[in-house]
Structure 1
Amino acid sequence: MMVKASTIGRPAPVKAAVWQGIMEMKLLPQILFIISALSFKASKAACSTETDRQSLLDFKNSVSLDPHEALASWNDTVHFCKWEGVSCHNAKHPLRVTAMNLANKGLHGHISPSLGNLTLLTALNLRSLKFLILGNNSLQGRIPNELTNYTSLRIVDLSWNQLVGEIPFEVASLSELTSLDLSRNNLTGGIPSSISNISNLRELIAKENQLEGRIPHELGHLHLLTFLALGRNKLSGPIPQSIFNLSSLEIVSLESNYLSMPYLPSDLGNTLHNLQRLYLDYNNFRGSIPPSLSNATHLVDLDLSSNSFAGHVPTTLGTLRKPSWLNLEYNNIIAKDKQSWMFIDALANCSSLNVLALFQNQLKGELPSSVGNLSSQLQYLLLGQNELAGHVPSSIGNLQGLTSLGLDSNNFDGTILDISDNHLNGSMPVDLFGLPSLISFNLSYNYFHGILPLEVGNANELMEEEIPSSLRNLKSLKTLNISRNNLSGPIPGFLANLQSLQQLDLSYNNLQGEIPRNGVFRNATALTLDGNRNLCGGVPEVSYVDLAKATDNFSPSNLIGKGAHGSVYKGFIGHLNEIVAVKVFNLETKGAQNSFVVECQALRSVRHRNPVSVLTACSSIDSMGNEFKAIVYEFMHSGNLDMFLHSQEYKEHFPDPAHLSLTHRVNIAIDVANALNYLHNSLQPPIVHCDLKPNNILLDDDMDAHVGDFGLARLHNDGTSSSIGGSTSSIGLKGTTGYVAPEYAIGGHISTAGDVYSFGILLLEMITGKRPTDKMFMEGMSIVTFVQKNFPDQIMQIIDVNLQYDDNALHKITKARKHECLLSMLDMGLVCTQQCPKERPDMREVARKLHRTRVAYLEDVDYCLS
């Protein structure tokens, strides 16, 4: 499935003018601009005389030409209230700037944003201003009618603020305006029809507000308009015919509204022949897709998804010069015979096609073999949840750039393998293993037989010289699932050399011989081989002697952590050639024996990359004849999350710790969410971790996160819970103070919602840098109420200082994305920490939203796929 993040940018020339500043702009000619009417409030402005002085100096430094030396007096020889053009006339604050008048001074340069810190400024002469760029600030209140008095304005950008109220009808008086950007605010009401009087307007951008009502047909009078972006509002009714007659339009973005039409105009491509991007997704359009769209020969992106379009995909789309994005999913589009499938043949002419999405339509019959003739640049081919049947064509192997192939929930059968849970049989065709960018491959629940072909290695490059040449392409594959078929013969040794392979499921086949010991085969939790009775070898055995030798007899110098039930040591096991972490259970401690059983049984069922990887376990007798139990984990070289979030507490051991960037924190949150989603939703019965906290989030060399310490884990089934070791309990769960769900404190049953609460606390801690047990949280204040009190307007005052230090170096757009990402993360943390368990989201939903957050705000792309 695909969802567009809709981060449409300006055309490059305008963007450059806006964000680089208009360096030769004449700033301060004639008449006074009464700022008091402009009720914006810069929330970050400091209230001090020193701030005023520095703000004035910043303004001076932004002036590139001062022909009359109007700013010559602006120095430390006199108080700034006596500087030319500066007035300080506030009775309560006599030394604060209230007005600036530098009219007719011939100043050139750009406006310093520091003027926003002059919080008592009531008058500023900017009468002939041509560019008003105030995007990505914290401006509040309504757009003042007085703004429309500045008739010289050509570009107005008030995007990414917190403006409310309606768009002033008087905006029509800005007759010189060429670009109006009001996007990403909280504006309400309708779109004023008076905008149609701004005859020079080329860009009208008001997406992501709360605008409602109909799109005024008068907008069709804007004959120079090239960019119309009104998406993600509450607009309803049809698109006026006059809009379809605007031949100047290049970008039309009306997605995610309540727009509806029984059909789009049949001549749409003839009238909008300059169209480059058309986004009508998430509305209620019906009818067929106009074949005339092929006459919009510059069309690159076409998104009609999540509507009710019917009929066939026009073959004329194949005549487009360079379409990249064709998203038609979630409609009623039909293909059932050779004629209606001809669009696949036609699209083979589109050499730039990157995305073809027809998920959940009414596609029937066999998928034509011509699908293999589609663009070599195709990355996403999404045809799931249709009624496709017959063979999956081996020609798909020709799609060298494919990274995501969605054919799920169809009725495929025959001899060609593709996806899980179909009726595929026969031997595996080697053609399909020629996909060099393949990352995930699931062939489970089919009827394949024969020996696993060597050509499976063609899915990307290996570095080992002894690997046959046909296997030198498998470097991207991360998951391989060929379970529940009839494969025979030995496990090919090259699988152990696939360095990216993280999950391997070969269960329930007829494989035989020795199990390889290297690579993915070293990790018991990454490997599933059940149901192959003729395999031997496997998980390595270690003794007490091996572990004592590996840890230098459990030397304190190798101690890397202590918990309630034992200690963790770093060691090196020679015959495994592996650095490991050995968790030795203190069996004299109450609950330690059960904790060992719980953790072993929990991890035995886990087959996922984000829970910590278990190599083996040891139950033996130590050198003194006492019972000995230990679990051996893959060693995590980067330590745990707590060490990074609270590095000042670890200075003794890490005097110069690295700081986690926002991107690192989002990625770690996603890893943890993926792990919990797997534990809660992919296992039967689900596993509840019960002790999620930063100490139990381990980080590997790549800073990927792995959830560890399952010693308190519980099975959850039918509203009840039990420890995996067998004893049932809903009371007495220890957990860790600050992270435990509130219902547990009053004897509530253990549930997956408890983990969701702990994850929410973890998110808030990751963004604020404060533990939930911080001394400041007392007398009714908690980390949750602390964030609630400052959300959303004051969040920059509470985020971790290590996330703030580089803000000044960030580009404005990057800072805006960062701010939105922080908002999204904190919002998710608050949602997860709802007091009532039933109000908390499922971890599947949490993981999905975090993925979207990463794509929308932290990746340099315009769209996200999910």
Structure 2
Amino acid sequence: MVLAMKLICSRLLELDLYINHLSEDFPSEIESLTKLVVLDLSHNNLKGKLPVSLGNLTSLRALAFVTNNLEGGIPDDIARLTQMETLEFSENNFSGVFPPVIYNLSSLQYLSMFGNSLSGSLKPDFGNLLPNLQGIYMGKNYFTGGIPTTLANISNLQVLRMEYNSLTGSIPLSFGKVKNLQSLGLAVNSLGSGHFGDLQFLDALVNCTQLQDVDVGDNRLVGDLPTSIVNLSTNIIYLSLQNNLISGSIPRDIGNLIRLQTLWLAKNLLTGPLPNSLGKLSDLGALLLFSNRMSGEIPSSIGNITRLESLVLSNNSFEGIVPPSLGKCSHLVYLRIGYNKLNGTIPMEIMQTQNLYHLSMGGNALSGSLPNDVGRLQNLVLLSLENNSLSGQLPDTLGKCLTIEVIYLQGNSFDGDIPDVRGLVGVKKFDLSNNNLSGSIPGYFANFSSLEYLNLSVNNLEGKVPTEGKFQNATIVLVFGNKDLCGGIRELQLKPCPLQAPPVETKHSSRLKKVAIGVSIGIALLLLLFVALFSLRWFRKRKKNQQTNNPAPSTLEIFHEKISYGDLRNATDGFSSRNMVGSGSFGTVFKALLPTENKVVAVKVLNMQRRGAMKSFMAECESLKDIRHRNLVKLLTACASIDFQENEFRALIYDFMPNGTLDMWLHLEEVEEIRRPSRTLTLLERFSIAIDVASVLDYLHFHCHEPIAHCDLKPSNVLLDEDLTAHVSDFGLARLLLKFDQESFFNQLSSAGIRGTIGYAAPEYGMGGQPSIHGDVYSFGVLILEMFTGKRPTNELFEGNLTLHSYTKSVLPEQVLDIADESILHMGLRVGFPIAECLTLVFEVGLRCSEESPTNRLQMSEVLKELISIKERFFRARRTARQ
């Protein structure tokens, strides 16, 4: 019997152990199955390395072990499997370079190695060595180098997926020869030359009549969107070019792609309107165009796309009304059209799209009220209508949206009481700040177990603030700016609620009681005064002893090496004026030589008599301890001690920047001769500095653990190293944003002397607005305008309604050279260089950043992308001018 079984197994042709919970090493028994043609061990938990004995199964035509935990490399013995047609080992832990042995499997038709840790480049003759491939799946690895042009020689190739790698170079034009190509996936690489012409491959793909999906998003492709995309295969269902540097407009005949289901062109530099022909795309499920520069009205024809599920047009410049025809899109799940220039009212028809999950229209100029029918949106999770001009009472029907988790209604003119939303127990974030709401705060918010953030600030609310449940946490509940609120927990710093009126008494007993109360209060106050004076003396003495024994506060435990007051005094020659390199809101900066390391550093000594200096010191330490960026000034260590007169001493020690501040380079005439730079900055150097600063702000706003607002960006806080690389400094006001301590922020804003640098601080800060990353964008916009005009925002030229922003805007584009810094125009630019075009583009970025309304400003990720694009065009223009 055993012999018979062995005989049967030895003749086995196909072994399928797909999803069998195998959890050991690769089964050694398989090596005896020499007649096997198909072996599938996918979706198990196999471990270890592939055995070399697999090479003995020379009859194999299909080998699959997808989704296991195998590791190491592919053994060379696989080369003996010359009949192999399908090789699939995706989603394992294989590492090393592309297995060279695979190049020997010339019969291979399907190769799948997605989701491993393979690296290195591909052979240039890849396509010649594997000419029979029909499907290539190599995504989610670490491959580098270019895409082999010989892939176009694989005449039967249908699928090429190489997304999520680190590929560089151009996308081969020769792909147009692959007539049977159906799927091209090259997203999330570094493809593109950075110059116009990167999109020519799309012209070639017109010849691929079987093409169904193209995904080249998240690369570095530059150029105008070619009109040829409307001539792509009518079979195409998915087209993604998102997150590149693509300019131009969407061709008006885009409706030719009649089977298109997804059009993803977000995060580019596209301009122009939405074509009416989009309404012909009856199968379209997702139209994703956010974060571009598009304009015009949203065409009502979009309402004809009845299968539309996602319409995302946010962060553009669309204007006009929200089309009521969107109500016909009954399958709509995501409607995100915020941060445009839309006006009019919220269409009642939209409340009929009962599948809506996200409704986002914030940052426009919408007016009218929130429709009562909002309660029909039974699947709504996010409602974002912030920063519009909406008014009227909020309907109680909002409380019927039982699945909602996020509600943003701040920055409007809603009035009346807070609506009855006691049923929204799953809400996580609820912002009603900056409206005209009145009445009391409902107590039921205290029991919202999922609540993470409730902002009721800057309204006309009154009465007692609850102290139970969620109201016990001041980082969750914000109520400042309501002058008639009282009570609450101590951290809210509200006035106490008045005592209830006492019962009616006779005049005589009332007078006696008043006398008794007055005497009691007087005695109590004397006792309290005595205790306070005694405690204050004891606290000061204890604090001084603590500082002597343990000078560094807990925040400074991040520094590996402390430095003493005496060390710094010696290193700066007694804080001599000869070593002073600048002064600011909270103190003075000295150049110092640390003898132990023979290192020149910058020492920022804080003026501890200045209100807010200690908070500035702690904020700067806290801000810089966890963030790393090449364009951030590096905080080396800090000193927290007492000086020789037993006064508090605080200092921050940074890398020294030998080329001083951007401010002194922009305004040479104001710098004393001994410190004055020998020349002015060139156009290219100004571009590079602007990109350096934009890169820092993009990092702080979007790539840290939490968003960080710098809050004090100006030329004197941009330092230049020996190569004129920019480093952003002075984080004395930063991260207060993260603690949701807006009142403290505004106190600091005043004490920090922001009023002394008026023109850089965002206008909303002066009107009680909350600190935000949008404020940094405004400051950056002013910085850009100053860098290229040479004029400060506080220049005497700017009086009344004339500002640096309006001054610049009024002359573009015809008179751009009249306002440009003259030194730029005489710094070695060749004949024929398009200086006017170049400056117009950068001024437009500065203007869009420094818009008065925060909602109209760009995001720093967009700013960085645009500046890089302009710089690339600048280089291209220079080469042209020199020819």
For normalisation by structure 2, the TM-score amounts to 0.48
Larger RCO (alpha carbons 8 Å, 6+ apart): 1
Between Structure 1 and Structure 2, which shows a larger proportion of helix residues? 2
Q: Which structure: larger Rg?
A: 2
